[in-house]
Each structure stands twice: as C-alpha cells, then as structure tokens.
Chains A and B, each alone.
Chain A
Amino acid sequence: MTALLRLQFKPILGALLLLVLSFTAKAQNRQITGKVTDNTGKGIPGISVTVKGSGTGAQTGADGSFRINAGANANTLVFSGVGFETEEVSIQGKDNVEVSLKSSANTIGEVVVIGYGSARKKDLTGAVASVKAKDFNKGVITAPDQLIQGKVAGVQIINNSGAPGGESTIRIRGNSSVRAGNSPLFVIDGVLLDGRSARPGYTGPDLGNTPNANPLNFINPNDIASMEILKDASATAIYGSRGANGVVIVTTKRGQSGAPRIDFNTSFGTSKVSKKFDYLTGDEYRAALTSYGLTSGNFGSSVDALDAILRNGSVQNYNISAGGGNENARFRLSLGYLDQKGIIKKTGLKKYNVNLNSSFKFLESKKLGLDINMIATQTGEQIAPVSNNAGFRGSLVGMALQWNPTKPLYKPNGTLDIATGGSEVNPVGMSEAYNDRADITTVLATIAPSYKITNDLEYKMQLSVNYGTSTRKAEIRNWINLEGIQAAPGGKGGAAFLGTGELVTRQITHTLNYTKKVSSDLNIGALVGYEYIKTNNKGGSQDGRGFEDFAGVSYYDIMGFSAQGTRVITSYNDPTAELQSFFGRANVNFKNKYLFTATMRADGSSKFGSNNRYGYFPSFSAAWNITNENFFRVNGLDELKLRAGWGQTGNQEFPAGSAQTRFVATGPGGLGQESFANPDLQWQTDQQVNAGLDFSILKGRVFGSVDYFNKKTTNLLINEVAGIPSPGTRIWKNIAGEVVNSGVELTLNGTIVKKEDFSWTLGVFATFQKNEVNGLNGPLLTGGINGQGLSGAFVQRIENGQPINVFYVRNYQGIAADGQAILENDGASFIYAGNPNPKTLLGISTSVGYKKLNLDINMNGAFGHQLYNNTLNAVLPINNLGSRNIAKSLTTLPVKEALSSPITTSSRYLESGNYMRLANATLSYNFGNVGKAFRNVNVFVTGQNLFVITKFTGFDPEVNTDKNIDGVPSLGIEYTPYPMARTFTLGFNFSL
C-alpha cells in the first residue's frame, strides 16, 4: 500500500521539488545548525526557525534539529510553533544554537487573522475567537462550519438535517434579521464568499422542494489551518455592509520552509441512524386497531418501512498534501477525496478536491512578493426526495413513517406493491422511482502580488475569481402513485428535470499597510484599501412529463420524448451585483498598555437604491492591559485586559435588482412584475456595543475571556407585500423596528493536569443570550406547517416585545373525556407559547493525554428553547389509524384520543429543545516515527454523535427544517427531516 502510494506520488513530488529548487538558486553562505527541545528535553518537530528581519526560514526535523542558511550579518533567530511561546535567540558569533521552548497552553501570544491583516492576540481590541486545526472537531466533516461547532462562545451551528453535505444554520450572536440573511460572511484567504451555492433547486411534483446544499462544501476541511470568528462590530466593521452577521475567516494551510514534506491521512467509517421516530410496529398497530374497534386496516404483516429505506452508511476519506520550500518560495499542494454514502438509500456525497497555495519572493531585496492560491473542487450529490414542505402524501421520510406497519411493501411475487392513486405511497417504491443528482464544480483562484515600498509600508493587490457551476438531473419514474406522475395503464407519465446554475464572483482588493514603531512606547499601524466585487448568478431549467418507462433509460436523457404541453423552460440571469468599497483601519499601541483601533468602510452597492448608493460603517475600540501597569501586579495573574468597542455594520442580503422596477418572463408570452422600484432601498444597520475581559492566570494554566454584547439591528430589510392597492408584487424596503440581541459569552480554558506523561485540558464555551423585537408596525408570520388538513397553517410570528420567531399557537389543554383535543376557546385564541432561540449555548471540549495515547471529547448543547414537531402533528396523528401509522406516544395518552380529533396546530406539538450531545470523541495513538521514512504516525478512532441527552420526541433536537413563509425565515421546526447518523471512523495519518 505505502510502496504503491510512494510510487504514485514520486513524479508529483519530483516536479514540485524542481519547482522549489528553481527558486532556491541563490543560497546564502552562513550556516547555523542546532536543536529545539521542549522543557523535558525532547526534540520538537515542525518548529519554524526564521532569521529575524530577512524572511529566511527553516523548519525543525523529527528530532528537533534544524539547519538554516543565515545571512552574513544576521543577528537573531526566531523560533515559533503552535503550542509554544515564541523565542528569540542571538546568533552573534555562533554556529550552533540549542533552544528550549516553553509550551504555552495560553494562546494570548499567538497571531490571529483579522479583516485584511493579522494581529497579535494580545493586541486585539475587539471580540475575536480563533480556533486552530488541532482544536477542530474530528470525524467525518464535509464543510468547514462543522469544525467549530460548540467551539466558540456566541456561535450557534445547527446541522439542519442529517443529509450528507446538507445545509447548516450558523448564527453569530443570535438572529437579527427578520427577512434578510442571518448567516455570517465567510472569507477564505482574503476572498469574500457569496454565501450561495450554484446548485439548482428542484421541487418535485407532489413532493415539495429539497433542502439546499451547504455552500461551503467546496472547501476541504483538511486544508484549513485556522478559523477566526469576528464577533463584535469593532472586528467586523471593516467588512461594512456585509459584516453585521459576524465574519468567519478561514485560513488554509501554507507550505513551511524547509525540506519538502508529505502528509497523508485516511479514514474509513460506518454510520447508522442514531434515533428514529417512535411509531407503532405491526403488532402494536394491530393492538391499536383492536382497542379502537376498527375492523379494517390490518394486512397481517409486520414491516418497518423506515428501516426499509435506511441502510448503514459508509465513508472513506483520503487526503495527501505535499509542502515545502525555502525562504523565497513556499508551496503546499493537497489532494482530497471523500466518498460518503448516506444512511438513506440512494443518497451520498462525493468530493474531489485540489488545493494549491504558493508564495514567492522576488528581487534581490525580496520586496516583491507573489501569492498564488487555487482551490478546485467537484462535489457530486445523490439526493433523496426528502423535502421541506411536502403536502399530505409526505416526502420519502414522511411516506415511510406513515406506512401501515401491517402492510407488506412487496407482493407475494417479490415485486413492489404500488397502489393506483390513493394517499399512501410505498416508500421503497418512492426511493426506487426517484433519481436526483447534482454536480457542482467550484474553482477559486487568487493571485496576489505585493511590494514592500519601505520597511514600514507594504502594498498588496489581490485578484480572485470564484467560479461555481452546477448541473442537476432528476426524474420520477411513471409507475409511482404521485399525483400527475402515475401513468394510466398503457399511458405515459413521470417527470424529469434538467437544471444548470452558474455563480461567478470576481474580486479585486488593493491594500496599503503601514506599521511604524514611532518610539519605544508608541507603535502605530494603518491600513487603507479599495475593493471591488462583482457577482453574476444565472441558470436555467427544463421540465417535462409524459414519459414511457424504457428500462434503464433515464427520463432526463430523453427530454425530447416528454409531452409538448407539459414542458416548462425557464432561464434567469440575475442583475449583476457590484460592490465597491473604500476602507481603512488605524491602530495605536501606547506602552503595550493602551490600545486603540478605529476602522471605517464605505460600501457602494449597485443593489442599493439610487438615493442611498453608499453606506458608511465606522467602529472604535480600545483595550487596556491592566497587568502592564506598574501599580497592578498580582501574583499568579499573568494577564488582565479590558476591551470595549462600538461600531456599525450592515446587512445587504437581498437580491440584486430589488431597487428597480423589473419584469421577468413568467411563461409563453407572459411577463410578470418581479419588483417595484425603491430608490431608497439600503442596507440594514447593526449597531453593536461590546465590552470584554481577557485573563490568564497561573502561568497560563487557566485563561479565557468574558464578553458582554448588545447588538441592535434597525432599518430592517423586509420584502413585504406592497400595501394595497398593489399588483400583488412584493417590495424590498427598510422598515421601522428593531431587533436587539444581547448576552454574555464566557470562554474558559484550563490545564487541569500537566505532567510529563499525563495531561488533561478542558475548554468551556458558554453563551447566555436574549433576543427581542420591537417597533414593528405589525407582526410578520412564518413557520408554515404542512400536512393534510393544515392548509395555510403557521406557528411563528415576529412580533413586538417577543423574541424573534416566537411560537404563536393555539393553547392545547389536553384531551377531553370524549377523546377530542381541547383547545382554549375552541381553538379561536392564540398564545405566545415558546421561543425557538436558545437562551443558553454550551460547548465543552476536553483532551486527555497519557503517554502516546490521546482522547479528545467535544460536546455541545443548547438550552432554554422550544421546537415544533410538525412530524408528529401532521404525519402520525390519530386520524391515520386504520389506514396509516400513528405515533407511539398516542397509544399511551391518559385519555384515549378519538379518531376524529382534528389535526390542528397547537402548543401540543411544542417540545423542549434542550439537548446536550457528545458530538465526537477521538482516541488516538501516536506511534511517532516508524522506520526512517514514516514520521508522526498516528492511528485514531472517532465516534460522532455518540449520544444526545434530550426530551425532544422527534428525530433529533438539532434540526431546522426550512419552513419560511414568503421568505421570512422560520426557526426550530422539525418536519420529516433526513435523520441524523451515528458514525464511527478509523483512520491513520503519517508524514514523509
């Protein structure tokens, strides 16, 4: 295996070496050797060694030794590495240096990436959290957001469902938008992402629309070095009109100077549904029929239809990277392959990924730099008909749940039992009749030259293109009993869909960065920049119906066969969105005690109305390092820093073209008004105050921070019905009203035990938050509920004096003696019955090391909120008994519910959403170096989603089915989602 791999990669390696060597032409002549050790005297590999002031660098080998070509007049070497305090050592008159590095659990000394630059963590004045690769969540990770779930206070990440590559809900400091997006801005290596995926949506006839894919799937989590989460306005205001929801900066791994090195890791896993909905078995169903005196509905068999569409999933993942270089040229190339087969049959995600980072320095002075980065990814999704909003027949999961458990899925002759018409659809038949694939290709390429004009002043330009293109092909075979699909005997039916999408973002950024040590007490820094981003989004689709079932031939491959009258052709090319920005930042550091930062961004967007083309987003913040004051010396207190900041940010997450009167094609010869002109349309404004405290005690054994924030969102963006009289068109505008998110975040890290052979660290990330809406002219409705007899039902409101998305439902008061559900005032009155926004978020990470064994455990939870169980409400009600399955909980009610008890949305289906999950646990064994070739050999086993403590009776309390009404987002509703999986993976990694 290894021999084979080495063979395969030798040519690549050779080519890369050549590349490096060509940039190594001029070596300098003074050679320094030495060794870097930890406090126990063991050599530390991977420590970066640089010549101060020159950029020349090397890396320590497996035993901690290094060799570096320092210039003739070099004075000092700098040793740095993750987990160690940086050390500077004089090399005057020396050829050999022995250095012992102090390990630092304390991260205050480290450098973090911030908007358009980086800063020492101890110089930060805003609320910025940083998670490094070693602290990421482990296991099967398909998108980067999953790496930091439960790892950062103030950040909530919900996997909306268990679908491979499915979308997640990411909230930094709560929900602040009533209609515009609530997701943070992702910036990957300086490129601002659009936040959408090029994947075409598909709404199957009678099935509803399938959920979106995670737009971050194209980033290989294995290539990420760190993620920085900018939370408060003083950190995010540099991103102006896109900073309001917080910013996540993703930094990919770079090549290190030194000998080229290859890292390889692989893992294999298996997964199984972690929790199923509690419905009746065949025998229980028969008992229920008897108990209700029903004589029909027993087909004599016992089947579990959900099991019939589920399977054991699997995953395999390979990553190989080669990196290296010297002081003038560094590179890292990585290849990744992921093949995940989901726990629902015919679902999965395949991902091929190439990532190249390279960095060069030119000219004798080395003042000219050039970075070239590229990510190319292809993801292939196989999608099941699990939708957000299926009607009374349900989507695949709903069909399986409500399948009569006494009814065989197959006929005695072994063929599937497919009904003609009717309301029950055989879920196995549905799974077989439905084929849906989406392929997305994403290429993100960046070229960034830079020039050091003086020692203090650097100019950098970054040019990037993010190109996403996608095709989606779907079909529903004509023998399945969906309305409009099932062919009459001898007739035609079925449906096919072919869609394409293209999403292109171009970005150019110029920055001038100035840093100056004015005196020994005063450091100043300044940044000015210009940025231009242009986005185009277009695509099209073809729909057709009326196919004959030619075995083995996909309908979407014979689109021309479809009946003429059923064909629907659409295409779109959204208005171009352009964003032009000017920004700047100034820092002052006086005596390392008093720190000030001011930022300003002016954002001009073509999306804004002509009366409001430019928005201005300022911020100010200051910090005071109290421990650096002479009068404040406390034994054991290493650091105490107070921070405070204020700033304004914006949110411009509305479609391009919203400020203009536009008509779009609606059908043959028809135009429909898409939007009304609104020359006043502008960004939504967030104003945020943050006050925080960073501390470190007992020589870094315990450190952490506390932050208070208050974020007020005004000028709310809304896409409301134009007040009548109107043609029914919606209009984007800014309305009165405010959403206030406030709370306290607590981050605490500690080293509980620190011995030579045994260590134990613990991290706790807690958030206590509150949300309130005020000043709206009237309530907004959302949280649409689907199912038979539930037309037009909704359960959430955005209303003054209430948290956003508060549940607004009938008050359920139990079941009357006659078996009918009692609703207050016979269902005519509604109450505010619950809040889907958690009051508390909790993440716990702990790591225990014993000799070469290491155990990492990550847990996360959310508390103080409610979820609405639309699955229980609509899919498994008592009325089903006799024809379809019911929830098991209905058979244990204190009073027997009558079969005619109406399905009505009410507080009956609101449940506590509290949960605590053991998200992942990894046990690894580090063999160290094996033989001469293999270094850092590590074997690990990871369990994901090992258990959840919750009282929620749905599939999983971590759920957010998209139940928006007219685009007003919903929160905390479960409706027949793709179930969550429990996954075990076994893997190993090594370096060459």
Chain B
Amino acid sequence: MKKNFIRIVAISALVTAGGCTKLEEKLNGSIPEQASGSANVASLLQASYDNLRSPFQDQARLWAAQEHTSDEAVGPTRGGDWDDNGIWRVLHRHTWDADHTFLRDTYSDLGRIIFGTTDLLRFSPTASQGAQARYLRAFATLAMLDGWDQCPYREPGGSPLELPKVRKGIAALDYVISELNAIMNDLPNGPANKANKNGAKVMLMKCYLNKAVYANRAAPVFAAADMNQVISLADQLIQSGSYSLTTNYFDNFAPNNDAIGSELIYSLENIGGSASGNVRSRWFCTLHYNQNPSGWNGFTTLADFYSKFDAADARRGGNSYPGVTSVSGIRPGFLVGQQFDQNGVALKDRKGAPLAFTPTVALKETGNNLEVTGIRVIKYPPDYFSGDNSNNDYVVYRYTDVLMMKAEAILRGGTPTAVAPTTPLAIVNQVRARAGAAALASVNLDQLCDERGREFYWEGMRRTDLVRFGKFLSPRSLKPGTSDNKYLIFPVPNQQLAVNANLTQNPGY
C-alpha cells in the first residue's frame, strides 16, 4: 500500500510538472499595437482625409442617397443590367429599409472618419492638426445628422468594446457648431482641398440654415436669429474677397479645378494618376458604352428636371469644353438626343441603333431602346489623362452656395445687410447671369429651390435642399405618391442597431 502511495504521488507530481502554462498568447506573425507605429499623427490625419473619399465621392454612397432620392437623378434598370436587387429603384421611389447596403455603408464610412479623427487626438497633434481632425469629424457628423439624425461618438482612446454614445438631432447640431467655433482660430486659411477656416464658416452656415429642419423635419420653423447667423457668415466670406464666380460654370469641376475653380471653398483633393476617390464614377455611371470613355450606361436625370432650364442656360450644356469635346465629342451638362464623337460622327448603340438619348425614362426599362433612354449628365468634365485616378477635386462647398444660402436666409426672415449683393433677387440674378440665363423679375422660396437645383444639380445636396423646402416627400416623376414622413430620415442600419444598444431605430422603420 505504501508503495502504491508513493507511486501515486510520483505520478501526480509528473502530471503537474508536465504542464500548467500561463496561457499567455504568442502573437507570432501579428504586430501588437505598441509596435504598430499608429501614433504617427501626420499619417493618421492623411488617412482620415483619404477616408472621406469613399462616402462622398463614390456613386453608391452619400451621393446616391442625396441624388437618387430626389428629382435630379434616377438609376433605371435596363433589362437585367443595373437591377442590383432594386437597390437604386428603392431610393428613387422612397421604399428603402434598414438593410439598404448603400445607406448602411455610407453610415459606416462616416463612422470610420469619426473614429480616425477622434483617435488621433490622443497622440498629441499640433494645434493645426487637431483642428483639421475636428473639422473632418464635424463634417462627417453633420452628414450623419442630416441623413440619419443619430450620431454615435467615442472619446479619444475609448475602448472599442464600450458602446458608443449617441447624439441626436439638435444636440448633435449644437456639438458640431461648438466644435467649429472652438477650432476656428487654429484652422489653416487654405488651400480649399484641406480643412480650412472658410470651409468651417460655410459648414456653420449649413448648420444654422438647417437648424429648424433638424429640430423638426416635418414642419420646420426657421428662426430669424439663425438666419441672421447665416447672413453674417455669408457677408464675412463675401468681404474676404477670396472667391469669385468662374466665367465658365464647368471650370469648377474641371480636372484642374484646384487651379481654375475660383469658387471652391472646400473640396476633396484628388491627385491625378496616383491618389483619387471615385470622382470618375460621375461620368462613368452615366455615359453609354460606346462613348469615350466607355461608360456603364447607368444613371440619368428626368425630363421634368431638364425642363426647368432655359435653353440659353449654359449650365444645361451644349457648349464645347477644352480638353473634352475635342477628345470625345462630349459637351458637359445634359446629354440629350443624338451623340457624336470628336469628329462629328454620329454614334450608335450596341445594337446599331442611333445613340440618341431620349428624355423619357422608366425605372425598369423593357423596350428595344432600353440602352438609350434617359438624359445623361456630365457635371465633371472627364479627365482623359490620369487613368483610373482622376485629377478633378471633388467639390463640397463653393462660393455660389454661400450667396444662395444668404438669399434663402433673407427669404426665410433674416435681416438684409449692406454687404452686396444685398437682396435675394440680386443674388439669384448674379448667379443666373454667369450662366447666361435671363434675369428673374422676382424670387420666392419655390423659385429659389428650383434655382438651387439648376445650380447644384448632381453635387450631392439635393435631398437636403428638398427636405428644407418641404418638397422631399411630394410626388414627382417616377415617384407617384406622397412618401411617408419617415423617409425624411434614413433608417439606422440594422447592422449598427445590432451592435450599439444606444442607437434606436428612427420612427416608422
């Protein structure tokens, strides 16, 4: 028995000696955080600038959410092509839901910017770097507020496991305003394609102009005090003398718009041939296969929108543009009717029929002419020289918008000032004159809304405008009924609801 006991002890000892590790995980081929070099503020800031590209420039992100839902754009299904499970149709018809992948991915993309710009603040940035990061964060937060009303946020260095807290509606807006005011002095003066002081001022104008909307989207009540803020900021920008209307409207969108776009106050930098967002999708998604460049034969505008323009209006197109028409025959603006190449030869579609774009278009094209339906839109003169990375900076805020916001603020009860242009009519006619359109005799809010459409079509702001003017839900071409109030706000994506209990689904979804 004693012998056995000794054996048991010996074996137990062996058992314990043989093992018992502390289970500290060896990472092998992975790099731990402290060695990852993530504390390089300049590169982190650049990464945040780069992160703006996807949500703002891609055709399937915020741009789609702002334009396809409006009277300016539609993505027709041509046979099986561009069906994509109806993802474009539901935008135009206002029948999207909380699983819509573009809306979901836009929301996450904006969240990525907010994370990166917040996270770098813990690595001791310079005053300018910190201000730029907070500018980008405010910019992304405002886009989120405008679309979804709910803006999740984290503190710098906060654990990713903690549920992000959420600012909603006016609280989010107040946060954006206070951030912009706090960083104003530390922001650089330029250039336009970086975070800058004047960009922050335009952003503040947008905040005040839309404040009533964010308080109550269905029935906004605009306060004179807010409108006066808009006017005062506009006057500061007018008096700065830094900006002027370009003679050629399309210069603001040209491949070299960073040099010749004298209206640009804030834009997203694209470096031709090396580092760009998907600005090229603006022309690819609308051009026919047989045009140059060979497009994707997708999006069009609607006949009703096209008919809002005077024939003389240069913004409607028809004029040749240097470096474009001589290469491809394309004339920026709206493409309707027979299309020609650079030598004036009439183009044909893939079945050999004339490539003549028709004004009428349906959400589901089924006829023999399904390749050529719908008026095409070229806002950005294509860059033929930079390959997949186009040089056109992506326009966010331009001077015309500052003027037009001032006009709107006065029409909404703001007090006119002595800074010229002083009246809404003067402003609108100044904008129209540049485009060669006849002066209006008077201007009211409805006309101003139309003018904003003519001036800013396909620039990714139409939905916001229509909501503010109370026209977003109205019936329109290819959207027969009045939409439910819930469509004034996008649904919080189910993906995010699942991971953040601080988010609540927006009413009605």
Listed stretches A42-50, A349-357, A898-906; interface member: A898-906
Whether A724 lies near B498 (C-beta < 8 A) is no
Contacts of B93 in A (CB 8 A): 826, 828
Judge if B497 is at the interface, Cβ distance under 8 Å: yes
* Residue A820 lies at the interface, judged by CB distance under 8 Å to chain B: yes
Nearest A residue to B158 via CB reads: A725
Q: In chain A, what residue has the closest Cβ to B84? A: A791
Of B79, B163, B365, B501, chain A has the most CB atoms within 10 Å of the CB of B79
**Which residues 891-912 of A sit at the B interface, judged by CB distance below 8 A?**
898-900, 902-905
Contact string, B4-19, partner A, CB cutoff 8 A, digits 1/0?
A: 1001100100111011
Instruction: Provide the main secondary structure of the chain A interface.
Output: loop
Which positions 146-204 of chain B face chain A at CB distance < 8 Å? 152-154, 159-161, 163-164
Contact B18 A657 (CB under 8 A): no
B348 within 8 Å of A (CB atoms): no
Asked if A828 contacts B84 (CB within 8 A), the reply is: no
Q: Does A291 have its Cβ within 8 Å of any Cβ on chain B?
A: no
**CB of B241 within 8 Å of the partner chain:** no
Max chain A CB contacts within 10 Å: which of B29, B32, B79, B89? B29
Given contacts A573-B29, A727-B112, contact A776 B498 (CB under 8 A): yes
Residues in chain A near residue B107, CB distance under 8 A: 724
A723 to B80 CA separation, bound complex (whole angstroms):
35
The smallest beta-carbon distance between A804 and chain B, in angstroms, is 15
B80: contacting residue among A530, A578, A720, A877, CB under 8 A: A877
B240 adjacent to chain A (CB < 8 Å):
no
Contact digits for B352-377, partner A, Cβ 8 Å, 1 yes 0 no:
00000000000011110010000000
User: Which chain B residues numbered 76 to 132 have a C-beta less than 8 Å away from chain A?
Assistant: 77, 79-87, 89-90, 93, 95, 97, 99, 101, 107-108, 110-116, 118-119
The residues of B that contact A657 with a CB separation of less than 8 Å are 25, 27, 30
Across the interface, name the chain A residue whose C-beta is closest to B367. Answer: A900
Contact between chains at B24 and A575 (CB < 8 Å): no
Contact A777 B501 (CB under 8 A): yes
Q: Which residues of B contact A665 (CB under 8 A)?
A: 31
B28: CB under 8 A from chain A? yes
8 A Cβ contacts from A670-684 to B: 671, 673-674, 676-678, 680
A792, B87: Cβ atoms closer than 8 Å:
yes
Report the separation of the CA atoms of residues A820 and B363 in the bound assembly, to the nearest whole angstrom: 13
A820 with B160: CB separation less than 8 A: no
Complex contact B116–A727 (CB within 8 A): yes
Query: In the complex, which residues of chain A have a beta carbon less than 8 angstroms from the beta carbon of B501?
Result: 777
Interface residue tally on A, bucketed by range: 35 or more
Surface stretch bound by B, among A126-134, A334-342, A451-459, A465-473: A451-459
Residues of chain B lying within 8 A (CB to CB) of residue A828: 86, 90, 93, 95, 97
Find out whether the CB atom of B79 lies under 8 angstroms from the CB atom of A899.
yes
A733 within 8 A of B: yes
Check B111 against A820 for contact (C-beta < 8 Å). no
Contact B28 A573 (CB under 8 A): yes
Distance in angstroms from B102 CB to nearest chain A CB is 8
**Contacts of A483-513 to chain B: CB distance below 8 A:** 508, 510, 512
Kindly list chain A residues whose C-beta atoms are within 8 Å of the C-beta of B97. 828, 830
CB pair A827 B32 closer than 8 Å? no
| B25 touching A659, Cβ below 8 Å | yes
**A54 contacts chain B at the CB level, 8 A cutoff:** no
User: What is the 8 Å Cβ interface bit string for chain A, positions 713-743, against chain B (1 contact, 0 not)?
Assistant: 0000000111111111101010000000000
| Chain B neighbourhood of A779, CB < 8 A | 494, 498
Q: Are A656 and B84 in contact, with the CB atoms below 8 A?
A: no
- Cross-chain contact A904 with B85 (CB below 8 angstroms): yes
User: Can you name the residue of chain A whose Cβ is closest to the Cβ of B107?
Assistant: A724
The verdict on B221 contacting chain A, using a C-beta distance below 8 Å, is: no
Provide the bound-state CA to CA distance between A665 and B36, in Å. 10
Cβ of A821 to closest chain B Cβ, rounded Å:
10
Instruction: Let me know if B275 is at the binding interface, CB within 8 A.
Output: no
Does B81 contact A778, Cβ atoms closer than 8 Å? Answer: no
A661 at the binding interface (Cβ < 8 Å): yes
Query: How far, in whole Å, are A909 and B319 apart by their CA atoms in the complex?
Result: 50
Please report the C-alpha to C-alpha distance between residue A478 and residue B164 in the assembled complex, in whole angstroms: 50
Query: Is residue B422 within 8 Å, beta carbon to beta carbon, of the partner chain?
Result: no
Answer whether residue B260 sits at the interface, using C-beta atoms and an 8 A cutoff. no
* Residue in A572, A722, A780 whose beta carbon sits within 8 Å of that of B160 in the complex: A722
Q: Which chain B residues lie closer than 8 Å to A776 at the CB level?
A: 498
Q: Which residues of B contact A591 (CB under 8 A)?
A: none
Counting CB contacts under 8 A, is B224 at the interface?
Answer: no
Contact A606 B494 (CB under 8 A): no
* A733 CB contacts on chain B under 8 angstroms: 161
Q: In the bound complex, how far is the Cα of B89 from the Cα of A604, in angstroms?
A: 52
Measured between beta carbons, the chain B residues less than 8 angstroms from A312 are: none
Q: Whole-angstrom distance from the CB of A100 to the nearest CB of chain B?
A: 41
Residue contact B14 to A898, C-beta cutoff 8 Å: no
Task: Give, as a whole number of angstroms, the nearest-CB distance from A482 to chain B.
Answer: 19
Q: Roughly how many angstroms separate A482 CA and B498 CA in the complex, as a whole number?
A: 39
B210 to chain A, nearest CB (A): 22
**What 0/1 readout, one digit per residue, does chain A (381-417) give for beta carbons within 8 Å of chain B?**
0000000000000000000000000000000000000
Q: Chain A interface (Cβ within 8 Å of chain B)?
A: 451, 453-454, 457, 459, 461, 508, 510, 512, 530, 532, 536, 538, 571-576, 578, 580, 604-607, 613, 656-657, 659-665, 671, 673-674, 676-678, 680, 720-729, 731, 733, 776-781, 788-793, 818, 820, 825-828, 830, 877, 879, 898-900, 902-905
Q: Give the top 4 A-B pairs by smallest Cβ distance, nearest first.
A: A724-B111, A778-B498, A573-B29, A725-B115
Q: B residues touching A (Cβ–Cβ < 8 Å)?
A: 4, 7-8, 11, 14-16, 18-21, 23-33, 36-38, 77, 79-87, 89-90, 93, 95, 97, 99, 101, 107-108, 110-116, 118-119, 152-154, 159-161, 163-164, 364-367, 370, 494-501, 503
25 contacts between A and B (CB under 8 A): A453-B8, A530-B19, A538-B28, A572-B29, A580-B21, A606-B24, A657-B30, A660-B32, A661-B33, A671-B31, A676-B161, A678-B161, A720-B498, A723-B152, A725-B111, A726-B108, A728-B108, A789-B80, A792-B84, A792-B101, A826-B89, A828-B95, A902-B77, A903-B80, A903-B83
